[in-house]
Amino acid sequence: MATTISKSPEETLRLGDKWGQEARPGWVIALTGDLGAGKTQLVKGIARGLGIAKRVHSPTFTLVNEYEGGRLPLSHLDLYRLETREQIVGAGLEEYFERPKGVMVVEWAERWFGAAPSPECWISGWYARLRRVKIETLREQERLITYEDSGA
């Protein structure tokens, strides 16, 4: 498990940018953290690292935003308004977990994967590379970002 401390929104953006540059097709990034912890800021950086020029914003009310035009497409899901797997399936989001075309980032990921996904994450019949990320607020501008990769 790796950890980093981000001391500003710009540092969080740069970390996401680095991850976007490293991303490969089918990569799933599962984000957990309180409101305002910096999840969407990290996604903005991932989009930048993928070469996506379009403005990235939280899909809290739309549930999913899709971005193209970069090296890989990015699907950005926000499960905040959905509390159970059944609600996620009922909202038609299960298809995003079947086989992501590019990179999929899921905010409030514990609502789909559970509190502690197994080391080999099974997503609808295939093993995916999963990066589990937890963002914790330490101070107003400081975040502890812990992450671990599993899967193929």
36-89 pLDDT, tens digit each: 899 999 999 999 999 999 999 887 778 999 999 999 999 999 999 898 888 988
DSSP letter string, the chain: -EEEEE-SHHHHHHHHHHHHHH--TTEEEEEEE-TTSSHHHHHHHHHHHHT--SPP---TTTSEEEE-SSSS-EEEEE-TT--SHHHHHHTT-HHHHH--SSEEEEETTHHHH-SS--SS-EETTEE--EEEEEEEE-SSS-EEEEEEEE--
| 76-111: pLDDT as tens digits | 999 998 988 889 889 988 888 776 779 999 999 888
**Residue 128 pLDDT:** 64
Across the chain, mean pLDDT equals 87
Instruction: Determine the CATH number of domain 2-150.
Output: 3.40.50.300
